[in-house]
């Protein structure tokens, strides 16, 4: 019999929620507790993607064996708790063999495409194991390869999904099936038009969940993680951080974009396009509640949260004397666009442009944006100064440019810090500044104390 679930829920479980057998079992209980959950999107088990990324960078053979061993242990700790381990062990062994083969190739000829192929195995394994956990609990559910619907461009490591293709593919291949049974799929991974595996950038499983939510017109997307919602700042930095019960799409997407770790930065875009509420909660403690991200909230506060984004690079471009000043900005931004360098923070003086570049999000560890070709091109227009290891701290709020005393509230707490760059005014709803990476925690603590405690 076909059941129709108009208000169905996409539930996404992060790495800690599928870290081991017990975590998978808890997550399975969450799925089973709500009959509207029809599509489950999973991350790789905690730690697995990091291991795979290291393998993809090409390791010495003894280090490689070490990592492969750790990976195998994580999988077998789960398999050994299953009632019928042999049902799935063969498939996992095959994937582990693939990983080993790809890791060897990576030592001779590493590439971003190879890296994506390799890291995709984390989600492939966790989703197979979870499907088996569900099956042993007697649930009608099936494993589904997300790559057959998540069509992306070919930017390996940080691929861009093609929204209308995803919608069409999901409608054809996924919709009919979620009406029959619970479908279990992978976050993070996709496929380009040439059939090659791609990834959406670190933490991209959240994004997959909302993309599929959008494609299938879900009533809600639930993101299950290891914290009970979105906090006023990272509680590991400021233990007095408070949980936010409800928050608007734009506030939450500012937080994610400026580094708050709870959601992948692009996650809320599909949700906003289709006005799908996103719930964030802890799979370890469902009773603790969580945060609902939706279109608007009552009484938006002046200050909402403090976010921090690490691994920032500051480029200072000093115009050469012989260069005409009136075309300097245009020339530099044309060059950056030609070299595919995106920046979201800029300040200028009469002869210098300062830009912050973000390298905290790509799947592979290094910053590939600063190429020799870019430096060569820049050198004919300006003298370049590069400062790495900075952190971007952002205060997210509402109508900050219209309120009095905001700058005083922020900077009077930061007397002990060398602030390297400040951006305020372009957005009404945030104020950001760069400072040395090792000062970020104490700056966030001080700001949070002043504004939220
Ligand atoms: N497994 C991927 C990562 O660790 C994607 C995700 O967990 O969302 O980045
Ligand atoms: Mg995550």
Q: Helix 21-33 vs helix 112-136: angle between axes, to the nearest 10 degrees?
A: 70
Ligand 1 pocket, mutate which of 188, 197, 200 (most atoms under 8 A from CB): 188
Decide: 203 in ligand 1 pocket, CB within 6 A. Answer: yes
The answer to the question of whether 5 is labelled as a binding residue is: no
What pLDDT does residue 365 have?
46
| Ligand 1 centroid, distance to 26 Cα (angstroms) | 19
Give the C-alpha separation, 310 to 259, whole Å.
8
Decide: 202 in ligand 1 pocket, CB within 6 A. Answer: yes
What pLDDT does residue 362 have?
56
Neighbours of ion ligand 2 (CB under 5 A): 14, 203
pLDDT digit of tens for each residue in the chain (453 aa)? 445 566 899 999 999 999 999 999 999 999 999 999 999 999 999 999 999 999 999 999 999 999 999 999 999 999 999 999 999 999 999 999 999 999 999 999 999 999 999 999 999 999 999 999 999 999 989 999 999 999 999 999 999 999 999 999 999 999 999 999 999 999 999 999 999 999 999 999 999 999 999 999 999 999 999 999 999 999 999 999 999 999 999 999 999 999 988 888 899 999 999 999 999 999 999 999 999 999 988 889 999 999 999 999 999 999 998 888 889 999 999 999 999 888 889 999 989 999 999 877 655 544 557 788 999 999 999 999 999 999 999 999 999 999 899 999 999 988 889 999 999 988 999 999 999 999 999 999 999 999 999
- Burial, 212: exposed, middle or buried (Cβ in 10 Å; 0-12, 13-18, 19+)? buried
Buried residues in 240-254 as b, exposed as e (16+ CB within 10 A): ebebbebbbbbbbbb
Decide: 190 in ligand 1 pocket, CB within 6 A. Answer: no
Nearest ligand to the CA atom of 126 = 1
Q: Max CA-CA distance within the chain?
A: 77
What pLDDT does residue 2 have?
47
Helix/strand/coil percent split, the chain, to 5: 40, 25, 35
What pLDDT does residue 413 have?
84
Q: Provide the whole-model pTM.
A: 0.89
Decide: 44 in ligand 1 pocket, CB within 6 A. Answer: yes
Ligand 1 pocket, mutate which of 11, 16, 44 (most atoms under 8 A from CB): 44
Nearest ligand to the CA atom of 227 = 2
| Ligand 2 centroid, distance to 339 Cα (angstroms) | 29
The answer to the question of whether 15 is labelled as a binding residue is: yes
């Amino acid at each position: 019999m076909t059941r129709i679930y108009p208000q169905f829920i996409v539930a996404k479980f992060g790495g800690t929620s599928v870290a081991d057998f017990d975590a998978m079992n808890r997550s399975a209980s969450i799925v089973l507790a709500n009959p509207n959950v029809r599509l489950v999107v999973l991350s790789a088990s905690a730690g697995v993607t990091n291991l795979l990324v290291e393998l993809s960078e090409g390791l010495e053979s003894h280090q490689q064996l070490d990592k492969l061993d750790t990976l195998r242990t994580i999988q077998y700790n789960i398999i050994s708790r299953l009632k019928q381990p042999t049902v799935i062990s063969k498939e996992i062994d095959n994937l582990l063999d693939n990983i080993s083969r790809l890791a060897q190739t990576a030592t001779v000829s590493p590439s971003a495409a190879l890296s994506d192929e390799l890291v995709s195995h984390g989600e492939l394994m966790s989703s197979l194991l979870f499907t088996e956990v569900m099956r042993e609990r007697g649930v009608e559910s099936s494993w589904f390869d997300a790559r057959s619907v998540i069509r992306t461009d070919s930017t390996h490591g940080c691929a861009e999904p093609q929204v209308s293709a995803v919608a069409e593919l999901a409608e054809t291949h996924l919709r009919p099936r979620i009406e029959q049974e619970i479908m279990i799929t992978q976050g993070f991974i996709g496929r380009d038009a040439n059939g090659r595996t791609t990834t959406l950038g670190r933490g991209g499983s959240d994004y997959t969940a909302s993309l599929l939510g959008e494609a299938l017109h879900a009533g809600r997307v639930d993101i299950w993680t290891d914290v009970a919602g979105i906090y006023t700042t990272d509680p590991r930095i400021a233990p007095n951080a408070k949980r936010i019960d409800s928050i608007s799409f734009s506030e939450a997407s500012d937080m994610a974009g400026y580094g708050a770790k709870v959601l992948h930065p692009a996650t809320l875009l599909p949700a906003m396009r289709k006005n799908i509420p996103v719930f964030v909660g802890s799979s370890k403690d469902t009773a603790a509640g969580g945060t609902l991200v939706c279109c608007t909230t009552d009484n938006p506060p002046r200050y909402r949260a403090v976010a921090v984004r690490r691994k920032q690079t500051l480029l200072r471009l000093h115009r050469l004397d012989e260069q005409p000043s009136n075309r300097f900005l245009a020339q530099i931004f044309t060059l950056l666009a030609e070299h595919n360098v995106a920046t979201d923070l800029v300040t200028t003086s009469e002869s210098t442009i300062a830009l912050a570049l973000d390298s905290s999000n790509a799947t592979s560890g290094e910053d590939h944006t600063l190429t020799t070709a870019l430096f060569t091109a820049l050198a004919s227009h300006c003298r370049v100064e590069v400062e790495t290891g900075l952190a971007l701290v952002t205060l997210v709020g509402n109508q900050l440019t219209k309120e009095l005393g905001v700058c005083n509230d922020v900077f009077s707490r930061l007397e002990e810090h060398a602030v390297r760059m400040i951006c305020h005014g372009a957005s009404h709803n945030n104020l950001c500044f760069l400072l040395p990476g090792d000062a970020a925690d104490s700056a966030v603590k001080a700001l949070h104390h002043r504004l939220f405690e």
